[in-house]
Amino acid sequence: MLTGDAQKFYGLLFGIAFSTLLITQQMTIFVNLVQRGASGVYNAPEAEVWVMDPVSRTTDVSYAMPPTALDKVRSVKGVEWAVPHLRAQATVRTREGDLEGVAVIGVDDATLIGLPERMAKGDKSVLFAPDAVAVDDTGALNFFPSEIDPVGERLELNDQRAVIRGVADAIPSFTSTVVLYTRYSNALNFVPGTRNRLSFVLVGVSEGQTPSDVAARIERETGLKARTRDEFAQAGVNFIIENTGIPTNFGITVFLGFVVGVAIVGLTFSLFIRDNIKQFGALKAIGVTNGKIITMVGAQAGLVGLIGYALGVIGTVLFISAFSSNPFFKGFYIPWQIPLISFVAVVIILAITGLIAIRSVLKTEPASVFR
Amino acid sequence: MALLPRNLSFSRQILPIIAVVGVIMAAWFIIGKLPNRDTVEPAEQPPKAVGALANAPRVAGAGIVEPASEVIDIGSALSGLVTDVRVKPGDRVAQGEVLFTVDARAARASLTQAAAAISEARAAISEAMAAERTARQQLDLYRSLTDPAAVSRAEVIRAEGEEAAATSRLGLARARLAATQAAAAAARTEIERLTVRAPIAGEILAVNIRPGEFVATQGGGNTQPFIQMGDTDPLHVRIDIDENEAARVKLGAPAVVSPRGAAELHVNAAFVRAEPQVVPKRSLTNSAAERVDVRVVQLIYALPESDDFRVGQQVDAFIPAKDAPADTEG
CATH classification at residue B171: 1.10.287
pLDDT of residue B201: 92
Residues B164 and B206 in one domain: no
Distance from CA of A335 to the nearest CA of B (A): 7
Residue B185 belongs to some domain of the structure? yes
Residues near B258 by beta carbon (within 8 Å), at least 6 away in sequence: B47, B264, B265, B266, B267, B315, B316, B317
What is the structure's pLDDT at B328?
44
Query: Is B330 part of any domain?
Result: no
Residue A327 CB neighbours (<10 A)? 15
Report CA-CA distances (Å) from B320 to B203, B244, B258. Answer: 32, 15, 15
Q: Considering the domain boundaries, does residue B18 fall inside one?
A: no
Q: Are A131 and A165 in contact (CB under 8 A)?
A: no
CATH number at residue B240: 2.40.30.170
pLDDT at B125: 92
Per-residue pLDDT tens for A134-172? 998 888 887 787 788 888 888 888 888 888 999 998 888
Q: Which residue of B has its CA nearest to A10?
A: B11
B40 to A317: CB separation less than 8 angstroms, yes or no: no
CB contacts < 8 A, A to B, total 175
Predicted pLDDT at A368? 66
Q: Which residues in chain B have Cβ-Cβ distances shorter than 8 Å to A196?
A: 292
The reported pLDDT for the residue numbered B6 is: 62
* Residues 6 or more apart whose Cβ sits within 8 Å of residue B262: B308
Containing domain of residue B82, as a range?
Answer: 72-103+195-228
* ipTM (interface pTM): 0.76
Nearest to A111 among B39, B46, B57 (CB): B46
Pairwise CA distance, residues A200 & A107, whole Å: 10
Best B28, B29, B241 member to test A by mutation, with max A CBs in 10 Å, is B29
Asked whether the beta carbons of residue B285 and residue A72 sit closer than 8 angstroms, the reply is no
pLDDT one-digit tens code per residue, B55-95: 788 888 888 899 998 888 888 888 889 999 999 998 999 99
Q: Is the pLDDT score of A219 beyond 90?
A: yes
Q: Which residues of A touch B22 (CB under 8 A)?
A: 310-311, 313-314
Please state the φ and ψ torsions of residue B60, each to the nearest 5 degrees.
Answer: -105, 150
Q: Is residue B329 part of a domain?
A: no
Structural domain total, chain B? 3
| DSSP-assigned letter for residue B69 | T
Task: Please report whether residue B315 resides in a domain.
Answer: yes
Domain limit, last residue, from B174, B193, B212: B193
For chain B, residues with pLDDT lower than 50 are 1-2, 284-288, 290, 327-330
Last residue in a domain, options B142, B174, B193? B193
Chain B 142-161, CB below 8 Å of chain A: which residues?
none
Measured between alpha carbons, how far is residue A239 from residues A87, A114, A244, B54 in Å? 17, 22, 8, 36
Quick: pLDDT tens for A232-282: 999 999 999 999 888 898 999 889 988 888 888 888 888 888 888 878 888
- B222 and B81 in a common domain: yes
- Asked whether the beta carbons of residue A333 and residue B48 sit closer than 8 angstroms, the reply is no
pLDDT at A200: 93
B277 with B289, same domain: the answer is yes
Asked whether residue B236 falls in the same domain as residue B183, the answer is no
Show residues of chain B in contact with A309, CB under 8 Å: 19, 23
CB-CB under 8 Å, A80 with B54: yes
Please answer yes or no on whether A109 and B260 come within 8 Å at the CB atom: yes
CB contact, 8 Å: B8 with chain A? no
Let me know whether B223 and B77 are in one domain.
yes
Strands (E), chain A: 49-52, 79-93, 99-107, 118-121, 132-136, 154-157, 160-169, 178-183, 200-205, 225-228
For A77-94, write each residue's pLDDT tens digit. Answer: 888 889 999 998 888 877
Q: How far apart (Å, rounded) are the C-alpha atoms in residues A19 and A349?
A: 10
B19, A306: Cβ pair inside 8 Å? yes
Per-residue pLDDT, A146: 77
**In the prediction, which pLDDT does B9 show?**
73
Dihedral of CA atoms A284, A290, A293, A295 in degrees, nearest 10, equals -160
pLDDT digits (tens, 9 = 90+) for A96-118: 777 888 899 999 888 888 898 88
pLDDT, tens only, A51-70: 999 999 998 888 988 888 88
Q: Which residues of B119-152 are buried (b: 16+ CB within 10 A; e: fewer)?
A: eebeebbeebbebbeebeebbeebeeeeeeeeee
Query: What are the extents of the domains in chain A?
Result: 2-37+245-370, 66-223
Q: Are B95 and B199 within one domain?
A: yes
